[in-house]
Amino acid sequence: MPTQKFTIRLPFGQKRRLRALAKSRGLSVNKLIEEMSAQAIAVWDTETRFRAMAAKGDVKKALAVLDGLDAKASSSKS
């Protein structure tokens, strides 16, 4: 997958902590940010789908999405 350079500005303390977090996970800061942004986008996509289903009034599908989120949350805590 092609990549692009993307510059962000962070407070020094936050940058230092991100480096420590990445190191503790055996990742580069770049890979950590990539993974975190993918998670944030997945949450946003799920919320968008949920809102679209709610607007259509499809309660059964909306509850199925919530059940899936509950299952993911439970499995990530293990």
Instruction: Report pLDDT digits (tens) over 21-70.
Output: 999 999 999 999 999 999 999 999 999 998 887 788 777 887 888 898 88
Q: Where exactly are the structural domains of the chain?
A: 12-76
Reply yes or no on whether the pLDDT at 73 is more than 80.
Answer: no
pTM exceeding the 0.95 threshold for the entire prediction: no
Reply yes or no on whether the pLDDT at 12 is more than 80.
Answer: yes
Structural contact between residues 68 and 53, judged by C-beta atoms closer than 8 angstroms: no
Place of tokens 């580069």: 28
User: Rounded to an integer, what distance in angstroms lies between the CA atom of residue 15 and that of residue 29?
Assistant: 9
For residue 32, CA distances in Å to 5, 6, 11, 63, 75 come to 15, 14, 17, 32, 21
Q: Give φ, ψ of 3 to 5 degrees.
A: -120, 165
pLDDT confidence of residue 77: 66
Provide the terminal-to-terminal Cα distance of the chain, rounded to the nearest Å.
31
pLDDT confidence of residue 13: 94
